[in-house]
Structure 1
Amino acid sequence: MSTDDERKREGPLGENIPGTKLTDVLPIPPTMQPVSEPEKHEKANDIGEEPTLSHALATTDYEEKGLAQQKHEEEVVDLGWNEKKHEIPAPLVGGLDNEDLWLLIRRFDKQIYHVKEIPTVVPGDLDLNIADDEEFSPDKLRSNTERFYMTVVVGLLAAVKHVARLRSWRETQRTSCFCAAYFIAWALDLLVPLLTLILVSLIVYPRSRGVLFPPAPLALVDTKTGGVQKPKAGVLGSTESPTGAPQNLKGEAVEQEASNFFNSFTSVVVTSATGKHPQASPSAEEGSPDNAVPDPTGITVAAAEAKDVAAGSKGSPEHDKTKVPVETAMWTKMRPIMHGIADVSDTWERFANALSPTSPFPRDVYRLRLAALIVPLFLISLFVTSYMFMKGMTFGAGFGFFGDPVIARGLKWLNLAFPRWQKLLELRNTVLKGVPTNAQLALTLLRIGEANKAPLPPPPRISEPPPERPTEVTDAELRATGAEPPLNATEEELRNAMEHDPQMAYETGGSDIDAAKDSSKNSKRGSRIIGFFKGTTKGAVKAVIGTDHARAKTGSHHARNRLGAVPRPNASRVSGPIDFKGRCNGKKGHVYITTKSTIPAVSFSTDETIEKIGSADREDLHPLWTVAINDIAEIKKVGGYGWKAKMVVGWSLGREVADGLEITDRMGNVRRVMALPMRDELFNRLVAIGIHKWEAW
């Protein structure tokens, strides 16, 4: 690993920041240790040792600074943890808009909920990679599928709409230039050089992207005609979402689309949509809410069996010998599928962050590295004919088909001579070395706040629905190349497309779909039935919650974990950044983080004066337990209620259920804090404050 002096010396691009040395531009692994010494442990004692590039970037002094990058004398500065959106100062991080920062943190909260310390060297010099043996749960499958939609699906849809715009000839000048360049290159046998040259330009010179592919809101472009269309949401309330739905904060519309996208999946995904998460659920006990409510996942299976019977199936479900093995195979294959979805999303995010780096990561290093790989292809394509290319392709296909004896012996020799050589050839270790995923980027930003004693405030909570009015569209979201109007549409056409139409969201592709979708005939009867069951369930849930206090006094561990998990409707969420309301073994108290002492630590105290006096750095608190920050080995988000009970309690009472955290130290001791209204915020501080290298599980 590079030393402190090597990291901070001025790079070849004149940037005095980590990750800008000449070796960082080359697509070579940062270290050979994964192959030469795979079991070697490498732990830092101080953040100044910069265990990873993320830690190094968090402690670097930048010219352009946000409020969270200023040096502070206090133990911790509150930059607006419980303030409204417009009252939080901007920018919190230099070169990054607050809404972009909150978008990253909000998605980080949904994606990461279990981390373990990793003592060995990390791939690509960045931690928080997904573990090879990560745990499977339907809730995690849901998270990864939603993330896949927000990154890959939306990105591919944007590419499809750009192609539709070019093929439509509506933007005549731009399409004419593309057409002329293509056929001239075709006539001169220079198609490959032209394409590679354009690719290099798009990578190295970001302004060329807006010239060749001018931006337009996704929801405003018709995929079939390439022209203007009415957004599916009925109004252009957001520019980056395919539906154009309104939003209070940037990215919320796409996140809601991703959730609805996942909910349309079939049986396994429907089961996952309930959020079943056995790893974080407590064990069931007699009289607990988990035993008092039905299993929602059984509804899908029961409905399928009823359909088969109604269709004339004679076989009894009990006599079906294929059911168990097929279900077992299906759930067994879900883990590699989930891991594959996460890998694809990670790679997509890394390429996006390489092409458009976000502060504090270097601006040009990753683009130069990608371009350096394509330039040789451009030079080779000037001399390689189509005949030579086809000859080489057919030889490679034949060798791959018939050359198994040679290939097998070569792989065997590699495995013996260089164990784990595959790790060195991974994209995150070579081409995308040092390029973060969005989660790694969010963690680096959180570490910047912690390094400067100014924890980044969480995304503001806005309870009001977003306004159903068109969003402001500027040249950054909608423009054309040359003198043509955007999308070759008049001002009136654009205005009519953007304005609110309440009926647009309900329009479907035909009368048959309308008939299948329409439930107005039974809506009143259905709402009365649902209201009846909701009222009955609400009474039962309140009764069970009331008995938890009695069970807790008799020593029930599970009942103690559930105390306070359903706060009162008007309960205050004011908490943080130093102390966080919660319960330990059923006792009310505060988790508080102290960094001013010799050994930074996280503790739990039942002293009520923390909230009144507002200081956790006192010797008279007498905490129930204390864990040094650097001794934490694992942090996991857990639930007091089981997954069924949590869903039913939230639905019947209409309240948010507060979950908890499980903190494990290096000695294996586990501390569990429940009923944390600001669990994600405490999790983020604990993950970002130390010198740990994390792995996501």
Structure 2
Amino acid sequence: MVHAEPETAPTASHALATVDHEEKGAAQEGHGDPEIKDLGWNEHVDQVPAPLVGGMSNEDLWVLVRRFDKQMYHVKAIPYPVDGDLDLNIADDEEFSPDKLRSNLERLYMTVILGLMGFGTHIVRLRSWKEARRTSAFCAVYFIAWALDFLVPIFFTTLIVLIVYPPSRNFLFPPAPMAMVDSKGGVKKPKAGVLGSHDTATGAPETHKGEAAEQEASNFVNSFASIALSSAAGKSHAGNDEEHSDAIDSAVPDPTTIATQAAVAKDSSASGAPTKKHDKTKQPMEQAMWEKMRPAMHMLSSISDGWERFANALSPTAPFPQNRYRLRLAALLVPAVCIGTIVTSYLFVKLSTFIFGVAFFTDPLLWNAAHWLNTNFPNWQKLLELRNTILRGVPTNAQLTLTLLRIGEANKAPLPPPPRSDQPPPTRATSQISADELPMDVDQKDVNAAIHPDRSQLHREAKADAEAAKKPKHGSRLLAFFKGTTKTTVQAALGADHLKADLGSVHAKNRLGVLPRPSEEKEQGPVDFKGRHRGKKGHLYVSTGNFAPGTDVPTVFFTSTEAKGPDDVKPVFSVPVAEIQEIKKVGGLGWKTKLVVGWAMDREVADGITIVDREGHSYTVTAIPLRDELFNRLVAMGGQRWVSW
């Protein structure tokens, strides 16, 4: 990566990645070697140096990277300056896909919904009087301010203190595990039966930080899908499925067919229900729903982006400035305090009702004003967006993650991928909590009963599971039968791909190797990534010059043989990193096929990546076990300004 000076860097993210940081981690310390430094890509988590980035723990870093992998699918380079001086903003006309919609719903849960739930627990605790001293103080300040007609200044002054002085947040709103707080402000046993995480609604245990919240988000979306399918079956519309249409897709069942067929059967059995032939609303409604999906998904992204920007402004993460954004937000509230001291409650009501009347009865005037602005200042709406005004320079979590990844690339020390959880988390409390550590007025006995698993309950559940295992399960046998037949069908279809690939089938070539053996997933990265190009096995190298003869610029190239050195390289294709125009994650299987194949084979499907250079040449490498890690390196290496598509 080119070490540009901050004032000449493409974006603030590039500049922050290349400056000399005061607090350094392993990825920020220069090693004086032109070769890439491996910080533990194939090592156990305990062998990875800590911290990788100064100012944050490895667990916090891996939470960001893991969620970045789920959020980013497709990026394009743009030649013009970016909004807010940070790239990786979401394009206005981003592509819609079911995977991206699910990702945005999960992100909304982990940011906005969990945040609102945490805010709700604080309100419940204050109203419950279980924390008598704190509630008394809030109550006294409120009614004294009310009596003196000073509520507005007190409110905004409190906000300024919370923004500018972070320790005041824990003093005024002492934290408590969200899953332990009941509806009356007391202590309850978490829904998971044990307190294994502090920032989740269920308190479920986790192997690595953030995994419980991510699993909750996944189940949150699954619950909505289950309700929708159950409603359709009577106890969704089947979306347009535009994917590969050849033998393997017809060889596996469509998982959405069962629900839609059940809905059709229900309608047919209902008295007076219109048949498909007479139903003139089906096609228009389906078309209208699918047309609205993209703006709806973009709205979800914008809500999550705004929430993350405010969170990162209030609690900045290095290398972003620690005080600049907080002071900016506080400065905006100072006039509100001043105005609140001179505006009486009567004048406030009069002004509010006047503004409401103007907004209600001047609709034609407002539309004419908007038309004039659109004609004379086409981008006026963007200029007023938060990311271009009060939150300018404040990153979303994705932009923060990209900056952290760029730090590793700038120092030739790519950040190792997050650890994978191969074993289920232990059913035990994360740590012993003393009653004195909790702000609520509770005794240690109640706390212990809440945070630790109920042994008698665990025994009853184990006994029930053992008894259930002894009973004949016709449904499970039927499911196992279908799984076995599906597995046989998939194996036969995938086996036939080798013959089809030899005959020139492009789809068959792209599917070769989509089910890698466990041995093929080990010992990869940060330079060498196994994959296939047009069906042929090989290695994709991300080189800094040592494997690219005649050049000293970062280059990505594919070779069908493992390269031992510069003289041994015979690239099938090569693209300088600086010339990459577009990077897209792709799959060798359609989404329905991937779902069924993963279920039947009990193995992870290896997807691929497409790289497009500035001249429009496209190169696709499939069956890459570390596809997300490769994507992250390519996005972070160059000086491109990216936009999420």
Please say whether Structure 1 and Structure 2 have the same fold, judged by a TM-score greater than 0.5. Answer: yes
Are 1:231 and 2:190 an aligned pair? yes
Query: Matches of residues 96-107 of structure 1 in structure 2 within 5 Å?
Result: 96-107=56-67
Trace 1:503-522 onto structure 2 (pairs within 5 A): none
Deviation of 1:579 (Å): 0.9
Deviations 1:142-162 (A, max 9, x none): 000000000000000001110
Aligned to 2:13: 54
Distance 1:165 1:341 in 2: 30
Equivalent residue letter for 1:261:
F
Alpha-carbon distance in structure 1 between the residues aligned to 2:241 and 2:609: 15
TM-score, L = length of structure 2: 0.93
The answer as to 2:513 corresponding to 1:542 is no
Which residues of 2 match residues 71-86 of structure 1 at below 5 A? 71-74=30-33, 75-86=35-46
Shift of 1:415: 2.9
Name 1:193's counterpart in structure 2. Answer: 153
Counterpart in 2 of 1:179? Answer: 139
Give me the whole-angstrom Cα distance separating, in 2, the residues matched to 1:153 and 1:381.
31
Corresponding position of 2:560:
606
Query: 1:331 deviation in Å?
Result: 1.4
Specify the alignment match of 1:28 in structure 2.
Answer: none
Change in Cα spacing, 1:55 to 1:569, as seen in structure 2 (3 Å) is: closer
Given that 1:267 and 1:300 are in contact with CA atoms closer than 8 Å, whether structure 2 keeps it comes out as no
Q: Are positions 1:498 and 2:454 aligned together?
A: no
Q: Match for 1:386 among 332, 342, 345?
A: 345
Query: Aligned pair in 2 of structure 1 residues 352, 388: CA closer, same or farther (>3 Å)?
Result: same
Measured at CA, do residues 694 and 135 of structure 1 come closer, stay the same or move farther in structure 2, by a change above 3 Å? same
Instruction: State the shift of 1:414 in Å.
Output: 2.7
Q: For 2:294 and 2:227, locate their aligned partners in 1 and report how far apart those are by CA, in whole Å.
A: 12
Indicate if the aligned counterparts of 1:583 and 1:590 stay in contact, CA closer than 8 A. Answer: yes
SS of 1:312's partner is coil
Give the counterpart of 2:259 among 284, 294, 300: 300
Judged with a 3 Å threshold, the aligned counterparts in structure 2 of structure 1 residues 270 and 678 are, in CA distance, closer, same or farther, namely: farther
- The answer to whether the Cα contact below 8 Å between 1:138 and 1:277 also exists between their aligned partners in 2 is no
Residues 280-334 of structure 1, C-alpha deviation per residue, up to 9 Å, x if partnerless? x5x322x2x1111122122221122222334434432332111111111111111
Q: State which drifts further: 324-333 or 254-263.
A: 324-333
Task: Compute the displacement of 1:413 (Å).
Answer: 3.3
CA contact (8 A) 1:83 1:460 kept: no
Q: Is structure 2 residue 245 aligned with structure 1 residue 284? A: yes
Query: Are the counterparts in 2 of residues 232 and 505 from structure 1 also a CA contact under 8 Å?
Result: no
The C-alpha deviation readout for 1:226-255, integer Å capped at 9, x for no partner, is: 110100000001111110111111100010
Distance 2:459 2:375 in 1: 62
3-state SS of 2:510 partner: helix
Which string of whole-angstrom CA distances, capped at 9 and with x for unpartnered residues, describes residues 137-182 of structure 1?
Answer: 1111100000000000000000111000001101111101011111
Letter in 2 for 1:341: L
**Cα gap change, 1:57/1:84 in structure 2, threshold over 3 Å: closer, same or farther?**
same
1:220 matched residue in structure 2? 180
Structure 1: distance between partners of 2:417 and 2:343: 55
Selected match of 2:309 from 333, 338, 350:
350
Q: Provide the secondary structure at the position in 1 that maps to 2:394.
A: coil
Cα offset, 1:419, TM superposition: 2.5
Identify the residue that residue 137 of structure 1 maps to in structure 2: 97
The corresponding residue for 1:573 is: 522
Q: Is the 8 A contact 1:593 1:602 kept in 2?
A: yes
Counterparts of 1:277 and 1:260 in 2: how far apart (Å)? 24
Equivalent positions of 1:398-547 (< 5 A) are 398-472=357-431, 486-501=439-454, 524-547=473-496
Closer/same/farther in 2, CA of residues 73 and 571 from structure 1, 3 Å limit: same
Alpha-carbon deviation of 1:84?
Answer: 1.0
Could you tell me how far apart the structure 2 residues matched to 1:170 and 1:305 are? 54
**Residue-by-residue CA offset, 1:16-36 (whole Å, 9 max, x unaligned):** xxxxxxxxxxxxxxxxxxxxx
Note the C-alpha offset of 1:268.
10
Secondary structure of the residue aligned to 1:197 is helix
CA shift for structure 1 position 260: 0.5
Shift of 1:401: 1.7
Q: How does 1:295-374 map to 2 (within 5 A)?
A: 295-374=254-333
Per the alignment, do residues 311 and 66 of structure 1 end up closer, same or farther by CA in structure 2, a change over 3 Å counting? same
Q: Distance in 2 between matches of 1:110 and 1:500?
A: 32
Residue in structure 2 matched with residue 563 of structure 1 by the alignment? 512
Whole-Å separation in 2 of the counterparts to 1:391 and 1:490: 51
Cα distance in 1 between the residues matched to 2:459 and 2:447: 21
Secondary structure of the 2:415 match is: coil
Per-residue CA distance 1:550-607 (angstroms, 9 max, x = gap): 1111111111111111112554432000010001011111000111342211000111
- Could you say what secondary structure the match of 1:391 adopts? helix
1:661: how far off?
A: 0.2
Tell me how far 1:348 sits from its aligned partner: 0.4
Q: Call closer, same or farther: CA 1:330–1:87 in 2, change over 3 Å.
A: same
Q: Distance in 2 between matches of 1:368 and 1:270?
A: 49
- Of 606, 616, 620, which aligns to 1:658? 606
Q: 604, 623, 634: which one pairs with 2:571?
A: 623
How many aligned residue pairs are there?
625
Change (3 A) 1:93 1:303: same
Report how far residue 118 of structure 1 moved: 1.2
Once residues 188 and 520 of structure 1 are traced to their aligned partners in structure 2, the CA distance between those partners, rounded to angstroms, is 69
- 8 Å contact 2:433–2:447 — kept in the other structure? no
- How far is 1:275 from its partner? 12
Matched to 1:142, the amino acid is R
With the length of structure 1 as denominator, give the TM-score of the two structures: 0.86
Structure 1 residue 168 and structure 2 residue 128: aligned? yes
Give the Cα–Cα distance (whole angstroms) in 1 for the partners of residues 555 and 265 of structure 2. 57
CA distance in 2, matches of 1:503, 1:141: 41
Give 1:73's aligned amino acid: G
Cα distance in 2 for partners of 1:175, 1:235 equals 28
* Unaligned segments of structure 2, at least 5 residues: 231-235, 461-467, 546-550
Task: Check conservation: 1:233, 1:505, Cα contact below 8 A.
Answer: no
| Alpha-carbon separation, structure 1, partners of 2:221 and 2:31 | 44
1:44-75 Cα distance to aligned partner (Å, 9 max, x none) = 98744310010010001011100000112232
| 2:633 matches 1:685 | yes
- Which consecutive residues of structure 1, in runs of 5 or more, have no partner in the other structure? 1-43, 508-518
Of stretches 293-302 and 619-628 in structure 1, the one that deviates more from structure 2 is 293-302
Task: For 1:521 and 1:401, locate their aligned partners in 2 and report how far apart those are by CA, in whole Å.
Answer: 68
Q: 1:269: how far off?
A: 6.7
CA–CA distance in structure 2, aligned partners of residues 76 and 529 of structure 1: 52
Paired AA for residue 421 in structure 1 = W
Q: SS of the residue aligned with 1:488?
A: coil
Q: Distance in 1 between matches of 2:472 and 2:193?
A: 23
In the alignment, is the contact (CA less than 8 A) between 2:188 and 2:450 conserved in 1? yes
CA distance in 1, matches of 2:351, 2:517: 71
1:649 aligns with 2:597: yes
CA contact (8 A) 1:351 1:432 kept: yes
Relative distance call for 1:312 and 1:407 in structure 2 (3 A) is: closer
- Report the CA distance shift for 1:291/1:463 in structure 2 as closer, same or farther (over 3 A): same
Matched position secondary structure for 1:245: coil
Q: Secondary structure at the match of 1:315?
A: coil
2:336 to 357, 377, 380: 377
Q: Is the 8 A contact 1:66 1:91 kept in 2?
A: yes
Residues 679 and 499 (structure 1), Cα distance of their counterparts in 2 relative to 1, 3 Å cut: same
Alpha-carbon distance between aligned partners in 2 of 1:373 and 1:496, rounded to the nearest angstrom:
46
Quote the Cα distance in structure 1 between the aligned partners of 2:471 and 2:386: 54
C-alpha displacement at 1:90, in angstroms?
Answer: 0.2
**In the alignment, is the contact (CA less than 8 A) between 2:26 and 2:50 conserved in 1?**
yes
Corresponding residue of 2:107: 147
Contact 1:146 1:258 in 2 (8 A): yes
